[in-house]
Amino acid sequence: MNGHGGMPDDFAREDHNLQRLSVTTRHGAIFVSEAMEMESLEDYLGPKMLVLFDRVFDGRPLARARRLSPAHSGKLEADVREHQGSLSRQPAARVSGDFRPCSAPTTRRAPRWIPPAATARSSRGAAGDRAASSATEEMASFREKLELHDPRLLDIVKEFPDSATVVMQTIWPNLIVQQQANTLATRQIVPVGPEAFDLVWTFFGYDDDDEAMRARRLRHANLMGPAGFVSLDDSEVMDLAQRGIHCDESGQALVEMGGRGTEDHDHIVTETRSARSTAITARRWAYDFVDRLAASLRDRGRFTRAPPNCSTKARSRSGLRSSRRTAATKR
């Protein structure tokens, strides 16, 4: 002020611009990167992935939901790519027959430092295709006769040329394009530290959607999001897995799901079995947790029966709560 203070005389504003970013657009989707020299989006995705991206990404924003997940962000990326979540715990997929262990995921080996893009796809079975098979017989949670009271949740209208009802396409580790039934969305992972991340869903539809389809997309959004039938358990399991890793900080945890390659497969049986890996990690934490809890309560003389929310069976085996067992205990 009045010739005093402020920046040095040799300060050049043009030398301190905002960081320039590399911007790419495709069908209205905007990609921004700090890397100025990189291959094109089309080259990165490759022909297989490009087709799947173009398949759904031609819409307008509808709404956005957000949730915080207490786990390292890599878990969700791996969770989606391996499609293990659907098999191990997703109630709606088990009810609807949306998920078949013999459907085809596609993966693509990534060049150099760029994380691999990958897609997991599954198709809805025909009416009689929901029966237990050799691939589902080891899924403790698979129930053939489970039916929805309100079937409109899975009133799926075919809108793409192929027969896939679930397509999860991981573009970057922090970006997933999802189609499940008639709900379309992007999932953006925003790490907020080593043990937590925000997961932002942006749901969208198409300009030419009629009211019935718009209502259907909003209804099918019940499958996903912070309270989604499909995704509700995800953060719980990832939280358990994170705790499982933490209970032995001097050691290491390693899970090699599906081996070491990234080649395409026409099945996901490996993921069916690898779903147990997450469960094992979670169970490891649960064993430790329940034992310590029970010991603590006994020491204080405050508990002479099962800890709250844990049936005897659950307490003695894994500590993971099945509400059915809890309800039975209460009765």
State how far the Cα of 138 lies from the Cα of 101, in Å rounded to an integer: 11
Determine, following the binding rule CB under 8 A, whether residue 213 of this chain makes contact with other proteins: no
Q: Does 159 bind other proteins (CB under 8 A)?
A: no
CB of 214 or CB of 273, closer to other proteins: 214
Three-state SS for 301? coil
* Residue of 76, 106, 100, 96 whose CA lies nearest to 241: 76
d(CA 270, CA 263): 13
266 binds other proteins (CB under 8 A): no
Closest CA to 84 of 282, 246, 245, 253: 282
Amino acid at 82: E
User: What is the radius of gyration, based on Cα positions, of the chain?
Assistant: 23
**Residue 320 Cβ vs other proteins, minimum distance, rounded to whole Å:** 6
Cβ-defined contacts of 47-51 (< 8 Å, 24+)? 48/106, 48/108, 48/119, 49/106, 49/108, 49/117, 49/119, 49/169, 49/171
The total number of residues shown for the chain amounts to 331
**Contact flag: residue 155 with other proteins (CB under 8 A):** no
Nearer to other proteins, 51 or 295 (CB): 295
In this structure, how many other beta carbons lie within 10 angstroms of the beta carbon of residue 125?
18
Nearest to 103 by CA among 154, 163, 186, 151: 163
Is 233 a binding residue for other proteins by CB under 8 A? The answer is yes
Q: Does 99 bind other proteins (CB under 8 A)?
A: no
Minimum gap (Å) between residue 43 Cβ and other proteins: 34
Closer residue to other proteins in complex, CB, 287/289 = 289
Q: Which of residues 235-264 bind other proteins (CB under 8 A)?
A: 236-237, 239-240
Any contact of residue 221 with other proteins (CB under 8 A)? yes
Rounded CA-CA distance 151/129 in Å is 17
- Determine if 292 is a binding residue for other proteins (CB under 8 A): yes
Distance separating alpha carbons of residues 87 and 141, to the nearest angstrom:
8
225 binds other proteins (CB under 8 A): yes
148 binds other proteins (CB under 8 A): yes
- Concatenated DSSP letters of 261-280: -----S--HHHHHHHHHHHH
Q: Which of 153, 177, 199, 268 binds other proteins (CB under 8 A)?
A: 153
Partnered with residue 188 across adjacent β-strands are: 175, 200
With b meaning 16 or more CB within 10 Å and e meaning fewer, what string describes 285-324?
A: bbbbbbeebbeebeeeeeeeebeeebbeebbeebbbbeee
Q: According to the binding rule CB under 8 A, does residue 226 interact with other proteins? A: yes
Query: Could you tell me which stretch among 5-13, 249-257, 268-276, 304-312 binds other proteins (CB under 8 A)?
Result: 304-312
Q: Please report, as residue ranges, which positions from 28 to 87 form the binding site for other proteins (by CB under 8 A).
A: 61-66
Binding segment for other proteins (CB under 8 A), chosen from 146-154, 167-175, 191-199, 269-277, is 146-154
Instruction: Based on the shown chain and the rule CB under 8 A, indicate whether residue 196 belongs to the binding site for other proteins.
Output: no
- Contacting residue, 24, 188, 262, 322, with other proteins by CB under 8 A: 322
Nearer to other proteins, 49 or 237 (CB): 237
Nearer CB in complex with other proteins: 133/141: 141
Please say which residue, 118 or 314, places its beta carbon nearer to other proteins: 314
Using rule CB under 8 A, residue 135 touches other proteins: no
Binding site for other proteins (CB under 8 A): 61-66, 89, 91-92, 94, 141, 148-150, 152-153, 203, 214, 218-219, 221-222, 225-227, 229, 232-233, 236-237, 239-240, 289, 292-293, 307-310, 319-324, 327
